[in-house]
Amino acid sequence: MRGQEELRDKLRRIDGRGYKAYQELEGAYDWGEYQLFIDHAQSDPFAPPSRVRVRVRQEVAGFPPELFATKTRAVALCDFLTRVFGRHCRALSRPCGTGHSGIIHVLPCGQEILERTAVVVNERFVEVRFTVGLPARGRTVLAREAHRIFFEALPEVVRRSLRYASLDKRTLLEHVNLAEDQESLRRQMEEKGLVAFVADGSILPRESGVSDKPLSRDKAVPFQTPPELRYDFFLPHRGKVTGMGIPRGVTLIVGGGYHGKTTLLKAIERGVYDHIPGDGRELVLTVRDAVKIRAEDGRAVTGVDISSFIDNLPDGQDTRFFTTSSASGSTSQAANIAEALEAGTSLLLLDEDTSATNFMIRDARMQALVCKDKEPITPFIDRVRSIYEKIGVSTIMVLGGSGDYFDVADQVIMMDKYRPKVVTARAKEIAQNLPSRRNLEEVKPFKPPLSRIILPDPWKLGFREKVKVQDKDEIRFGWETIDLSSLEQLVDPAQTRAIALVLRHLSLYADGQRTLSEILSLLEKELSQEGLAGWAGRRGEHGGDIARPRPYEIAGAINRYRRLKVRAKLWEKIGR
């Protein structure tokens, strides 16, 4: 490995030359206390910034092994170091010249603690992966500014961020311990049959519609548990915590407009992730496989079994293997539920505001006007109990306009000025005194959707076709655009980049024999065994800009690819 003086000499030689001369810097350099790897030098100041790594031996870094002794603690430690490294990069970067010149940048983090590739910690070293905008004036090398980055700014960032002795140990320990508490609470929730938990004192409202930070405590109403749903837990570090537990089954969240129904559901849907200290939702936890469902007009649907919700179409199309290039609101919502069940969810989350009305319910008057043999849709109200009783999948939904759901609910929670009240008994009394006049439309018994085998053909791109992440909500795959904007639990563009990497290599998994659920299980097994960084590195991706997605968002991207090809696993059962 070369020494730092060699890098200094190279910078002197290339000063004032054309920008591509920066590529001569690529390689590994020994800095004494750490090693510097310039993995890729950009060829143009407007191109994506250069990829750089720093590796500090544990003898120098000095992180106690107990901080990364388990997967949960290691992910939290890496998350903390990513945030600290990023903060010091922003403080010590000095933009100069053309394009991204002078910017030291590490993957930014949101309110969630995610497994990322930006920082790797093990018993031998701490490694951080980031980018540097190599300085230029026009397209000419500015070696003096590059020298300042590598010999002044970066050593200081490393000293402040990657040495245990330099960190706020109390804050670090709080970060790691919180993640361990969250994991412990999830296990205890499962033992008590809960699908969601909201701790007393949680701050659920966000700062604004474009900010995920908590609303200030002087403006927010802290969460207060109704006594009927109060649960106590004992956590390894926080000790006793109390809060509202939502048991398995069918739960309605009701109340007037602007009283906090959707705010509560939003917190629950984000509860599939752990959150950082100070977020306000640190102990708002949901089973990790919960999936938010909504109507999604115009999405493509490929070979999905929606027959339990939509059947007997006028054109005779077989809805056990339903395909359309542009689904309606009701059809898309039926497909989204079927796909979530196929992927293995145990909890569906719905909001009346983002659902198709005719999919959710048909009232008595509409039933009287349009008889069942003229209506192919079996509304969700007539399936939600069967989904729980037959396959054990629970539902939490926000409702403001349909009291007919009182008949099928296990518990009803009313939000009143952001405070929850259990009104199950009152709802059942109302249902008894004001009986619904609608007829049950569950003509055929509910059946889980047929599994689909993913065919490999569309995942093999041509020489000129590329995979590109536009933003969090969009992947350009070859000549097709995959719209992910309706996957509301996708929280970080780095997750989208990971999904794009999965799609790029999906032909390795989609062999024409594996079902979608089998592919997702295999991916989860590999990611858990190798770690995200190891799995990505085996596929040639050594950068620090990806975060681990859930299998349900991976499935969501696969299902929204318009060139997707599938076949039903039980082909003969659908007469094909």
The predicted-structure confidence for 299-357, as pLDDT tens digits, reads as follows 999 999 999 999 988 888 889 999 999 999 999 999 999 999 999 999 999 999 999 99
**Which residues partner with 104 through β-bridges?**
132
Domain residue extents for the chain: 2-167, 291-433, 452-574
CATH class belonging to 291-433? alpha beta
Which of 320, 212, 305, 205 is CA-nearest to residue 259?
Answer: 205
39-79 pLDDT, tens digit each = 999 999 999 999 999 999 999 999 999 999 999 999 999 99
Sign of CA dihedral 510, 513, 518, 521: negative
What separation in angstroms does the CA of 55 have from each of 32, 75, 118, 282, 378?
Answer: 11, 18, 12, 31, 58
pLDDT in tens, 100-154: 899 999 999 999 999 999 999 999 999 999 999 999 998 899 999 999 999 999 9
Say if residues 396 and 269 touch (Cβ distance below 8 Å): no
pLDDT at res. 177 = 98
Distance CA 298, CA 296 (A): 6
